[in-house]
Amino acid sequence: MQTDLQITARNFTLNEGIEAEIRTKVAKLEHLYDRISGCHVVVEGAVGHHHRGGPFDVRINLTVPGGDLSINHQAQDDLAVAIREAFEAARRKLEDHVHRQRGE
């Protein structure tokens, strides 16, 4: 993985399995576009829900040539669903960026 990756959890602790899933999803984005130079993923649990879980907000900031791409996916009660949907949105936004870069 060449991308400088930061993973931040707020209001709860991410387990190793979730962190590994995030790393896998970032690697898939890198496969789509190998010029990503930075990625910051913030997973935020609701305040006061330390032990019960969601809702979860997932924000992804990608640093790419020509600027930054920001994805904010909000309020999913299931952490896995929130992460999956945020990375799907990131993939779509990255594909749009690639098409713009190529002049399509």
- Domains along the chain? 4-101 (3.30.160.100)
Q: Whole-number mean pLDDT of the chain?
A: 89
Mean pLDDT for the stretch of residues 9-30: 94
pLDDT at 58: 95
Element housing 4 (H / E) = strand 4-10
Taking the CA atoms of 17, 33, 68 and 5 in sequence, report the sign of the dihedral they define: positive
39 and 25 Cβ atoms separated by less than 8 Å? no
Task: Name the DSSP letter for residue 46.
Answer: P
CA distance 51 to 57: 16
pTM for the full predicted model: 0.88
Look-up of token digits 């209001």: 11
How far from each other are the two terminal CA atoms of the chain, in whole angstroms?
Answer: 28
Q: Kindly list the strands in the beta sheet with 56-64, ordered across the sheet, starting from the edge strand earlier in the chain.
A: 4-10, 38-45, 56-64, 67-76
41 and 63 Cβ atoms separated by less than 8 Å? no
Query: Quick one: pLDDT band at residue 19, thresholds 50, 70, 90?
Result: very high
